[in-house]
Structure 1
C-alpha cells in the first residue's frame, strides 16, 4: 500500500507544474475572453469599432506608462491604492505583489544595493544587500522557490562577496532553484 501511495504522490508531483501552468493559462484566457466578448458585445461585432477601441486602449496604456515613467502620479492608480490600502488582507497581498513587480521592473533600485554571496561555514547563500553600515552589511536571504519569505543577516563585509548578477537575475536563480 505504501508503494502505491508513493508512486501516486510522485505522479502528482510530476504533473503538478503542467496543471498549474494550464490553470494559469486558462485563467488568463478566460479573463481576456471576457474583455474581448464584452467589447464585441458593445460594438455589435463591428470590426472597425472593435479595432478602434483596441487602439485607444493601447494608447491609454502607453500614456499611463509614460506618466509612471516620468514619476507622475496617475490619479486613478492613486485612488485605487488608497482604497486597497484600507482593506486589511488585500492590502498585504497587493503591497507584496507591487514590491516584487517593482523589483523586477527595476524601479526599486534604492531597495536593493546588489546581489551577493554570503559565506556561512562551507556554503554560500544568495542574498540581496539592503543596507550598508560601517563594516557591516544587511543582507536579505530569501527562501527557495518562494522569495517572499527568508531571513535578514547583519554580517561583516569580509563574509560577503558581491555578485555581478542583476536583482532580476538573482531572483530568477532563486525561483528556478538555481537552474537558470
Structure 2
C-alpha cells in the first residue's frame, strides 16, 4: 500500500510538472484575450457599432506598424518625442519612463553600444557561479543584473570588477531560458566545465 501511494504521488507530481508550462501559456493567452476584450468593449461602448470598432482596431494596427517602421528607419517619430517631452516634465514618472525605456532597449535593440552580453559571476559566494546580464560598464567595472529562477524579472543588481566575471557564449534569450527552466534548458556543458 505504501509503495502504491508513493508511486501515485510520484506520477501525480510528474503530471503537474508536465502541465505547468501549458497552463502558464494558456494563462498568458487568456490575459491577452481579456485585455483585448476589455479594449474592444471600451471602443464598442462609445460607438455601439461593430464597423466603427473594427475600423478603430485596423487603424490602430497600422498606426503602430507605421511608428515601428519610422523608428527602424529614422529613429523616434514626432509623436513619441512629444510624449517624452511631456513626461520629462513630470517628476517621478520621468524616472520610471526613462528606466523602463533603457531596460526594454537593452533587450530589444540592435545597437551595439548597449551592453547585452551574458557573463558568469560568483554569487552569493565564491565557488557558486550564476549567469548575469551586463547592463552597464565603466572602465574595468561591470554593472550586472543577476536574475533569480524561475522569474528572471526579479534579482539583484551588483557591481563587479572585470576580473571577477567570465564571459559566456549565451545570448540574452539563452540565459533567460536557462533561468526560467531552472537549469533544465542548458546546452553549454563546455562552458560549465571551464568554470573554476
Number of equivalent positions: 156
Change in Cα spacing, 1:46 to 1:140, as seen in structure 2 (3 Å) is closer
Gaps of 5+ in 2: 1-22, 186-196
Contact 1:116–1:127 under 8 Å retained in 2: yes
Measure, in 1, the Cα distance between the counterparts of 2:156 and 2:104. Answer: 16
Measure, in 2, the Cα distance between the counterparts of 1:89 and 1:148. Answer: 23
User: Aligned residue for 2:69?
Assistant: 66
Contact 1:141–1:153 under 8 Å retained in 2: no
Measure, in 1, the Cα distance between the counterparts of 2:155 and 2:81. Answer: 24
Deviation of 1:126 after TM superposition, in Å, equals 1.9
User: Aligned residue for 2:165?
Assistant: 160
- Superposition TM-score, scaled by structure 2 size: 0.60
Measure, in 1, the Cα distance between the counterparts of 2:75 and 2:41. Answer: 33
Of 116, 126, 140, which aligns to 2:119?
Answer: 116
Deviation of 1:73 after TM superposition, in Å, equals 2.1
User: Aligned residue for 2:89?
Assistant: 86
User: Aligned residue for 1:128?
Assistant: 133
Structure 1 vs Structure 2 CA RMSD: 3.4
Measure, in 2, the Cα distance between the counterparts of 1:179 and 1:93. Answer: 34
Contact 2:132–2:147 under 8 Å retained in 1: no
Change in Cα spacing, 1:113 to 1:94, as seen in structure 2 (3 Å) is closer
Measure, in 1, the Cα distance between the counterparts of 2:105 and 2:53. Answer: 32
Gaps of 5+ in 1: 1-17
Measure, in 2, the Cα distance between the counterparts of 1:46 and 1:139. Answer: 51
Pairs within 5 Å for 1:1-180: 31-47=35-51, 49-107=52-110, 109-119=112-122, 121-129=126-134, 130-131=136-137, 133=139, 136=140, 138-144=142-148, 145=151, 146-147=153-154, 149-156=156-163, 159-174=164-179, 178=183
Contact 1:126–1:141 under 8 Å retained in 2: no
Measure, in 1, the Cα distance between the counterparts of 2:180 and 2:93. Answer: 24
Contact 1:137–1:155 under 8 Å retained in 2: yes
